[in-house]
Structure 1
Amino acid sequence: MKSINLGWTLGVLSKNIGLKSLTLLLTFLVFGIFSCNSKNSKDQEIVILDNIPVLELTPKTIEFPKTYVCEIQAVQFVEIRAKVEGFVDRIYVDEGQFVKKGQILFQLSSLEFTEMVNSANAKLSQAKAEAQAATLEMERLRILVEKDIISPSELQLAKSKKEVAESGIAEAEAMLKNAKTGLSYTTIRAPFDGIVDRFPKKSGALVTSGDLLTNITDINEVFAYFKVTENEYLTYMRAKMEGEELISNPDVTLILSDGEVFEYTGKLETLEADFERGTGSIAFRVRFPNPDQLIKHGASGKIQLSNQLENVFLVPQKSTFEIQDYSYVYILDKDNQVKVRSFKPVQRYGVYYIAEGFEEGDRIIYEGIQQVKDGVFVSPAMVSEKEAYDTLSTSL
């Protein structure tokens, strides 16, 4: 194409049509050029995507389970320890055996303590005899004083000897009581109905005071302790003070270590007094009946609570994306223009996020978020709530 000399062309035109006409012609030419450019720019900015699946959000009341790792303990758990030194003469029960309250478990050697009891009995008899002799002597001296044969001071001395002899009886009785108590410690009995644990000391072993002989547990009922965060604790306590039930179902479910749900439900009873320094958590206690004694002391499991949230929205996870720990969705305005919207999930619920902060009727891009971006326009293909949730419900 040949180039055109604009100065030459304008000069020719000015000679033929005049300067005024040329100015008017250039004005229309410039206006036409800018109009074309403006139209092309608008055509480039407006992008309409067809048949983009869109879901309209509606508020819901959600009841969902939340699980916590728990530690299980027997309602009663006692360490059976020797109170005196001696040899294990006999073991009357076997490991893992159920025993009744007062049943004999162990017998320690008792010869030494039997001799101590016999010695204490002898001293008690001696003290009683001395007291009786002192009493007779005092009565004899009383008669002599009454007849003015001896002075009253002699009678007073006899009374003092009698009191000393009587105090000797009290001392001998205390010694006998201690000896009998020591002897009773050689026979070790069950403090309550329960199951005995392993025996670290076998028959014939020497034990000293404080040595562990076994444990005994009552597991007709068990406690399950689970820890919650400080925020969860505050939420629970505020709801309780306002007379609300944060937990919709007062019966608590226990999931055993094999994944099976325990047959019996428990009751939330109480909580610890202080927060744990290292984790900032606090433990709640749940009591479970255990009539079949399936659960043992020290077992593990998970506590499952049914929590209820009102006026929340279910946002499919596939409709969201994350950037630097923030969650986003694409939301449509009234003109069907896409806007990016951030939100903070309250809880995962299967393949959904439970979210707050949306309004009823808000529309989000349900599928194809990779095709859209902030500012584009779409032609929505509305997806019914039932269709969307039924499609995803199999993943719950």
Structure 2
Amino acid sequence: MSVFSGIKKTVEQKPYILAILVCILLTAWMLSGNSNAEEQMVRKNATSAEVEDTIPSVEVTTFTPSAVSRSIELYGRTEPKRTLDLSSELEGSVDKILAMEGDFVKQGQIILELNKDDRIEQLASAKALVIQRRIEYRGARSLSDKGLQGKSNLEQAYAALTEAKALVKSREVLLEKAQYARLFLVF
């Protein structure tokens, strides 16, 4: 044990000795494998010569290109993804159709115009009624201010004027709807 303790003490004091010893061992090990690799190369060259002797012969065939026609016949039936039933808010006959069956339409697109019939005359009549009711209301207010007429007659005249204005508005809306029908899709 004293020999090992002496070596241990020397290595602890001079560690470079251990490093040199390890380098020498590794170099010897690497050099011993080099001669083995040369033997393997010689063997490999010998076997490749044997392999060349056993390569089979190859046969070649020449092909000539020719046209090949392929056709696929398909039969089917298409159906629309969505269908739409269109109904109008107004009664009347259709004057113009602006979108035909099968056309793609977008929301808000004008698709038809309805016949205006007498809707223009009805609007003119409603406007004339507003003028008449306005005159009646001004007269009732003037009489009420002078104390010659009761408050109920003034309120009746005001209600008649308001009703006439509402009638004008509804006639304008009907005329506008008759001029065009827009498509509003709801899915």
Normalized per residue, which structure has more strand?
1
From the CA coordinates, give the structure whose radius of gyration is larger: 2
The TM-score with structure 2 as length reference comes to 0.49
Structure ranking higher in helix proportion: 2
TM-score when normalising by structure 1: 0.25
